[in-house]
Each structure stands twice: as C-alpha cells, then as structure tokens.
Amino acid sequence: MRLLAALLAVLAQPAIHVGAQPTGLAYGAGSLWSANAGSATVSRVDIVHRRIAKTIHIGVQPGAIAFAAGAVWVGDFTQNSVFRIDPSTNRVVATIPIDTTVGGFRAAADGSLWVSEYNAGVVVRINPRTNTVTERVRVGGQPQALAELDGLLWVANTAGYVSAIDPVAGKVVGATIDVGHGVDGLAATPEGLWATTYDRGLVVLMDPVSRKVVRRTRIKGHAAGIVLANGALWVSDFTHGRITRVDRSTATLRESRATGSRPRAIVRVGRALWVANQGSGTLVRVPLP
C-alpha cells in the first residue's frame, strides 16, 4: 500500500518536458536548470508554475551542470569547454577552455569551482572572478562526480576508485578507495562517503579515515544519481525508472518511488526531490515523506 500511495503521489504531479536526454540537474536563482545532452540545450524551469521559463541553446552536448558563484556552469560531452550562464540574462557570458570533456562540478568553500575532466584524468579549479583555470591536479582514470568532506575534495572515478585531493596543497593525498568499475554518483554524509556504481548497481559507504568500504548493497539495475535529502539517502535506478531510499545505518533498500524512463540526476529542493528522466526527456517532482 505504501508503494501504491507513493506512485499515485508522483503521478498526480505531471512531468515537465524539457529537452532530449536530460543528464544533469541543478538548482539556483529560484529555478531548476536541466542540461539536455540530446538537444544541445539547457532548460530553465519555473518549479512554482511548472513550466519552461527559458531554453538556452548551447550548441554542444551539455552533461554536467552546477549553480555556483551566482552563475550556472555547464560542461559538455563533445567540446572541451565550460560554459558560464548569467541567470539574470539567460545567456552564455563566458566560455572557459579545458583539455577534455567535463565529468562533474563541485563548488568549493572558498568560492572557486572544481571541475573533473573525464578524458584527461585531471581535476581543475576555476576562479569565477576571472573565468580562468588556476590549478590542475592529476587523479588518473576517468574522474566524474565530486564531493567535499572533512576538508578534502573527493573524486569518484569511473575506473573504479575514489581519491581525495587536499585543496590547500593542490595534490592527491592518502590511498585511493577501491569501489568497483563504473563509479557514477558521490554523496557526502556525516557517516562518510556514499557512492553508486552504474555497471554493477552497487551502493557503498566508504570510511574516509580507513579508506575502506564499510557497507554495501545492490539494486537490481544501474545505480546512477545519489543525494542526501532531509536525512534520507536516495538513489536513482536507471534501469527500472525509479528512485530508492537506502537505509544509512544498515545499507538496506527501503521504499521506491516511480519516476519515469531512465532517471539519472537527482536534486533536493525544499521538501521534495526533482529527478531528471533521461529516457523520456522529463523532470518530475517527488515529495519527501
């Protein structure tokens, strides 16, 4: 009955159609921002009136997206650039060249922006005041999602491991954590770092001190996005069109919510989660319990 009630709650809130294959999602300046890889656009979404406020044509395949320093930052799959969008004009105001495609973003506590370069095996720091790359740290593999915990920048790597960067020293510190090939999502929590692996459907908890995996579970499909929201950990199941709550104390799967075809990115906005469905080109709102 709980699953049925959750499904009906989602269905009662119609999906918002954005561009084709939305793969990245961010919230800022009172709007949701969807990076639509299949249509080379970014959609600005008014979540109050549930409509597209603006479609911004990027001209490349946008994937990763973030809101930081009062701007929207977009990384692409095909052109070696980071694009900066001014939310006051909905226009690209700067294009920052990098060496390869973008895997992920992370806004740092000092106001800078960290960017993982997927095909170069490096993470770079961008100064938003000058729109320039100011630092490069080699991590190897194919770096993707980024998270901050205990003063370190943690890097999920599709090659199968998670590494840590000391942002002050500008270098990798300590041992890498072996997670499994296809690390896709990363989330910092009070108990440690949670990661998903797309290839094997794993959801794992890592101890940042011992650098070991201490809990793990597996969903039946591809595990993609992961987010901590109101104390609960949610993971998107790309294969089965749903998000699932993971019990943080036992790493067991709890309730699931149907979302749509091929959900990937998840963000929390207030008392709800917003999910980007890559297969159907839609965003859906899932109320939190």
Tell me the pLDDT of the chain (289 aa) as tens digits.
Answer: 454 445 444 444 689 999 999 999 999 999 999 999 999 999 999 999 999 999 999 988 999 999 999 999 999 888 899 999 999 999 999 999 999 999 999 999 889 999 999 999 999 999 999 999 999 999 999 999 999 999 999 999 999 999 999 999 999 999 999 999 999 999 999 999 999 999 999 999 999 999 999 999 999 999 999 999 999 999 999 999 999 999 999 999 999 999 999 999 999 999 999 999 999 999 999 999 8
Four-CA torsion 67, 71, 72, 73, nearest 10 degrees: -90
β-strands 16-17, 282-287: how paired?
antiparallel
User: Which tokens in the block code for residue 62?
Assistant: 């946008």
Check residue 14 and give left, alpha or beta (phi > 0: left; psi -120 to 50: alpha). beta
Domains 1-138 and 142-268 share a fold: yes
Extents of the domains making up the chain: 1-138, 142-268
Strands 161-166 and 41-46: unpaired
- CATH architecture assignment, domain 1-138: 7 Propeller (2.130)
Task: Assign domain 142-268 one CATH number from 2.60.120.10, 3.30.310.10, 3.30.2390.10, 2.130.10.10.
Answer: 2.130.10.10
CB contact at 8 A, 220 and 240: yes
Hey, CA dihedral for 277, 50, 256, 67, is it positive or negative? positive
Distance CA 229, CA 116 (A): 24
Query: How far, in Å, CA of 120 to CA of 139, rounded?
Result: 9
What does the alpha-carbon distance between residue 145 and residue 46 come to, in Å, rounded to a whole number?
A: 26
Q: Which residue has the tokens 């961010």?
A: 26
d(CA 144, CA 120): 11
Helices and strands (H, E) in the chain, number of each type: 1, 28
70: region left, alpha or beta (phi > 0 left; psi from -120 to 50 alpha) = left
Residues 66 and 40: their CA atoms lie apart, in Å, by 16
